[in-house]
Chain A
Amino acid sequence: MNLPQIVEYARSGITVGSIYAIVAIGFNIIYACTGIINFAQGEFLIVGAMTAISLSHVLPLPAAIAGAVLVTALLGGLLEIVFIRPVKNASVLRLIVVTIGLSIVIREAMLHLWGETVRSLPYFTGTAVSTVTILGAGVSLQVFWVLGVSAVIVAALTLFFRFTLTGRAMRACADDRMAARLCGINDRWMVTLSFMLSAGIGALAGCVISPVTQTQYDMGAPLAIKGFTVAIIGGLGNSMGAVAAGLFLGLLEAFVTSQSSAYKEAVSIVVLLLILVFRPSGLFTRSDVSALRTA
């Protein structure tokens, strides 16, 4: 492998890796608040991208994306209110099964609405061929959008959870539901909010990768599997862990694929199994915090 090739693989690894990280953070937000793994998380990305593509025919691109994020967030909240909240004797497992059902329903709905056509948003800046040369390799401008938006999402979420009252209330709910209610926090709305937040973030991620990877109605499930793997590697509920794990998996996939593309899909499954067997709390979990969680 020569240098430009390495840069090329690193680029593709970091790009998909940061998207995996965002999907994983979507998992984490809902998991922390409810203990549910939301298997419809991948679908939120595709709904977001598809909505933005449709809106972009009538609106300028930024407005179309903003609209898509809003629509998807509302959809996420609505789904929670209609399908998750009313479940009686809701064990976590039962709710997870509900989310699997939801992912299928959303996928079929998208097939009806948008068909099987592969679509994509236009490149945010420049065109498909405009690149920046780094160490002899051409890197598409959209890659910088993906990285930038991912970084902004992570930073904004960190600030939100750390410094706003609502963010702290969500963490409180995640920590101790009953105590949160005793503080006057409406835990049911916090759960709804966690679905809206994950859906909105997912939609934004779906929009920024659309120009690079294209968008089709059934691309959500594979993304969800990768995101789930990353969430597990990073330690469920740990957003910084998710970023590290996302980049790790993305790069690993890229370089394994460079040797033989046959193993691409196997990589994440193998990693997932190894983690589950040897370090189920995740690679990047701070042991002191997780000890407090179970306490």
Chain B
Amino acid sequence: MLKILNLEAGYGELRVLKGISLHVAPGEVVTVIGANGAGKTTLLKTMAGILKARCGEVEFDKRRIHNEPAERIVARGCCLVPEGRHIFSTLTVKENLLLGSYCRARTFRPWRKGPDHADNEQSIESTLEQVYELFGILKERSGQLAGTLSGGQQQMLAIGRALMSRPRLLMMDEPSLGVAPLVVKEIYKTIVNLKRRGLTILLVEQNARAALAVADRGYVLETGQIVLQGTARQLCDSPEVQRAYLGKEYRSIDE
């Protein structure tokens, strides 16, 4: 479904991604783990069209999307939940969610033919109901300004807003960042839930333990390069991952 080939990107002079290749098959949950500054966010922003790729290819549904603007990539069904949530804090919860389906509300979208084309208010309304079902708290707080939600609720809102676009590929950038352990659990339960419904997910995390627990496969990103890849099981068992990301080796050194 998603194929990235030799992708390079950065900021100004700074080269952050140094040739990344990875793929995600339909229905899979794939995780990219890496330390601070490895380039995880840069990778997702490039795929979402916020940053320009310097070189390489991003293919989504057999279409090259690396030159397309962010707005069109969402409309194609590839949606990013950005790091740090980025909800619209001066808008209400419901307005946030409705804006999530902005790309579906317009009828004139020549590049998006097919069954989704005739999306209408009714189907947006039904997606809204689904999101409310997934995160009950959002329904309770639908009239509240989003900025007044707690951190965990804001993360749920960010995910809910992305789901409103009815993505086929959902990209998430550190959904557990700055969220209490109990809420992390809830968010990960939702991810499993979404996976069961057949949603394809690309999950970027520093919290390797949580991510590998729900993922089918994973990649390890270090200073802009993929250094390791494999099934979630393989990564969990690999000594490098255990030492660097799961913090297991330390104990045996201490002992």
Contact = CB atoms under 8 A, between A and B. Distances in A.
Interface of A: 165, 168-169, 171-172, 174-176, 178-186, 288-289, 292-293, 295
Interface residues of B, number: 31
A182 B99 contact: no
Interface of B: 48-50, 69-72, 74-75, 79-80, 82, 86-91, 95, 98-100, 102-103, 105, 145, 147-148, 161-162, 165
Contact of A182 (B86, B89, B145, B148): B86
A183 B82 contact: no
A178 B173 CA distance: 14
A171 B90 CA distance: 8
A175 B91 contact: yes
A165 B124 CA distance: 13
- Chain A interface SS verdict (over half): helix
A185 B79 CA distance: 13
Contacts of B48: 182
Contact of A179 (B86, B105, B165): B86
A168 B95 contact: yes
A165 B50 contact: no
Contacts of A181: 49-50, 69-71
B103 A183 contact: yes
Contacts of A186: 69, 71
Contacts of A182: 48, 50, 70, 74, 79-80, 82, 86, 162
B99 A185 contact: yes
Given A165-B98, A169-B99, A292-B147, A184 B75 contact: yes
Nearest to A291: B147
B88 A176 contact: yes
Contacts of B100: 183
B50 A175 contact: no
Contacts of B74: 182-184
A175 B146 CA distance: 11
